[in-house]
C-alpha cells in the first residue's frame, strides 16, 4: 500500500485543502450558539415595559409588578399605560451616565426621597384622567393648591387601592384629617367606622364647586342625597334647615344625640330666647320655693328649664311642618 508520501503533489494539495475546510466548518459549528444575537427583552406585565423589567424583575420588585393585577395592568384594554406613560422615558435612569455614582431617578418618581414635585406627579395621572367628570375641578381645588398629589392617596401598583374601598378609605383620609378621626369616634356619628358610609359619599377629593369639597353644589343638596325626607317643601320651614344643616349638626360626630353640636335646649337657645318651665316664674313673679328670675327670664330661677326637658318634647317637626294651625311665625309652626 502506498503511503501519503507516494501520492503525487497535486493530490496532496487537494487533501490538505479539504482537511482545512473540514476543520474550519467544525470550529464554526461549535461556536455558532455564541455568535447568535442575544434574545430581545420581552414585556412581563405591561405592553412596552421591557425597558424597565430587564432590571425591575420578579426577583426583587414583586410589589412593582403587582400592577398587573390592577386596571392599569390590563393588556386587553388599549388604554392601558406602560411604565414610560407614567414615569417618562427616563433615559438617564436606564443608561447610567459615566462618572455618576448613583443612578439618576426616573423622570417622574412618585415615592422615595427624590420624588418629583406634586404638580409633575399629578400631571402624569391627569394626562389620562383629566377628562373624567369627577376630576374636572382638580385645578385650583383644596388638595391641588396644597401640593397633594394623586400618589399621596392612591396606590397604583397595589392590587387593592385602599382609598377606592369604602371600608378602608377613611384610614387614608384620616392620615391628614386627624380632627375628623376624633369626631367619628364619638358616640353619635355617621356609620363611617362601620363601613356603611365613606368620605367620598359626601366629598369629592378631586375638587368641586361646593364648599368643603362637597359632591353637590352645597351642603344641603349633599345631605339630601340620603336625607330626602328633610327636603320638603313644607308649609312652614325652619330657617336654618333651608340654609345649612351644619348650623345645628356636625356630620362627623358629636357627643349629643342626632349629631347635634350642642344638646337641647341649649342648641335652640343659641337663636331663640330661652323660655319654658313655670310661666309665672319667667314673667318675674315670686313663686314659693323658687328663686326669682331677672326681668328677661334669664337668671338663677330658670335652672329648672333644662332639667329633663327639651324643645322637641313639643316641637317635634324641627325640620319643617305642615301644621295648618301655625298662622304666625312663632315656635308653634314646628308642632306636630
* DSSP string for 272-322: SPP--S-HHHHTT---TTS----TTS-SGGGGGGGSS--GGGT---TTEE-
User: What confidence score (pLDDT) does residue 183 get?
Assistant: 97
Q: Which helix (H) or strand (E) holds 170?
A: helix 169-173
First to last CA, the chain: 135
Q: Are 251 and 261 in contact (CB under 8 A)?
A: no
Grid coordinates given for 13:
494539495
Location of C-alpha cell 384620616? 174
Location of C-alpha cell 444575537? 37
The answer for residues whose C-beta is within 8 angstroms of residue 144's C-beta and 6 or more apart is 122, 138, 207
CA dihedral 125, 129, 131, 133 (to 10 degrees): -120
- Rounded to whole angstroms, the Cα distance separating 227 from 239 reads 17
CA distances from 170 to 35, 189, 278 (A): 59, 14, 48
**Which stretches of the chain score pLDDT less than 50?**
1-13, 15-19, 21-39, 277-279, 281-282, 293, 296-305, 326-330, 332-333
- Rounded to whole angstroms, the Cα distance separating 333 from 336 reads 8
Up-side HSE of residue 163: CA atoms within 13 Å toward CB?
Answer: 16
User: What confidence score (pLDDT) does residue 32 get?
Assistant: 41
User: What confidence score (pLDDT) does residue 305 get?
Assistant: 47
Query: In terms of C-beta density within 10 A (0-12 exposed, 13-18 middle, 19 or more buried), how is residue 148 classed?
Result: middle
Grid coordinates given for 221:
343638596
User: What confidence score (pLDDT) does residue 190 get?
Assistant: 96
User: What confidence score (pLDDT) does residue 291 get?
Assistant: 52
User: What confidence score (pLDDT) does residue 112 get?
Assistant: 80
Kindly write down the DSSP assignment for every residue of 231-284, as one continuous string: S---SEE-HHHHH-GGGTB-TT-BSSGGGBSS-TTHHHHTTSPP--S-HHHHTT
pTM (global) more than 0.75: no
Amino acid at each position: 500500500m502506498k503511503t501519503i508520501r507516494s501520492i503525487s503533489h497535486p493530490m496532496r494539495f487537494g487533501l490538505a485543502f479539504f482537511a482545512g475546510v473540514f476543520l474550519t466548518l467544525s470550529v464554526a459549528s461549535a461556536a455558532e450558539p455564541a455568535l447568535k444575537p442575544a434574545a430581545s427583552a420581552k414585556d412581563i406585565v405591561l405592553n412596552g415595559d421591557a425597558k424597565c423589567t430587564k432590571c425591575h424583575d420578579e426577583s426583587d420588585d414583586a410589589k412593582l409588578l403587582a400592577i398587573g393585577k390592577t386596571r392599569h395592568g390590563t393588556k386587553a384594554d388599549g388604554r392601558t399605560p406602560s411604565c414610560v406613560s407614567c414615569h417618562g422615558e427616563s433615559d438617564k435612569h436606564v443608561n447610567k451616565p459615566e462618572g455618576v455614582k448613583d443612578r439618576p431617578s426616573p423622570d417622574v418618581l412618585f415615592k422615595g426621597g427624590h420624588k418629583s414635585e406634586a404638580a409633575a406627579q399629578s400631571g402624569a395621572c391627569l394626562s389620562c384622567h383629566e377628562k373624567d367628570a369627577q376630576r374636572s375641578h382638580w385645578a385650583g381645588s383644596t388638595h391641588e393648591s396644597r401640593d397633594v398629589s394623586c400618589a399621596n392617596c392612591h396606590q397604583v401598583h397595589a392590587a387593592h387601592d385602599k382609598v377606592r374601598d369604602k371600608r378602608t378609605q377613611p384610614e387614608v383620609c384620616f392620615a391628614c384629617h386627624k380632627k375628623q378621626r376624633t369626631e367619628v369616634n364619638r358616640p353619635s356619628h355617621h356609620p363611617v367606622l362601620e363601613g356603611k358610609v365613606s368620605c367620598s359619599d359626601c366629598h369629592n377629593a378631586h375638587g368641586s364647586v361646593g364648599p368643603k369639597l362637597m359632591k353637590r353644589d352645597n351642603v344641603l343638596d349633599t345631605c339630601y342625597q340620603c336625607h330626602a325626607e328633610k327636603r320638603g317643601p313644607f308649609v312652614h320651614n325652619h330657617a336654618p334647615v333651608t340654609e345649612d344643616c351644619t348650623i345645628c349638626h356636625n356630620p362627623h360626630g358629636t357627643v349629643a344625640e342626632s349629631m347635634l353640636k350642642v344638646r337641647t335646649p341649649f342648641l335652640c337657645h343659641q337663636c331663640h330666647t330661652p323660655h319654658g318651665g313655670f310661666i309665672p316664674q319667667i314673667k318675674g313673679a315670686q313663686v314659693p320655693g323658687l328663686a326669682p328670675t331677672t326681668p328677661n327670664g334669664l337668671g338663677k330661677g330658670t335652672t329648672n328649664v333644662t332639667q329633663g326637658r327639651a324643645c322637641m318634647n313639643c316641637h317635634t317637626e324641627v325640620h319643617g311642618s305642615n301644621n295648618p294651625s301655625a298662622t304666625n311665625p312663632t315656635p308653634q309652626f314646628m308642632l306636630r
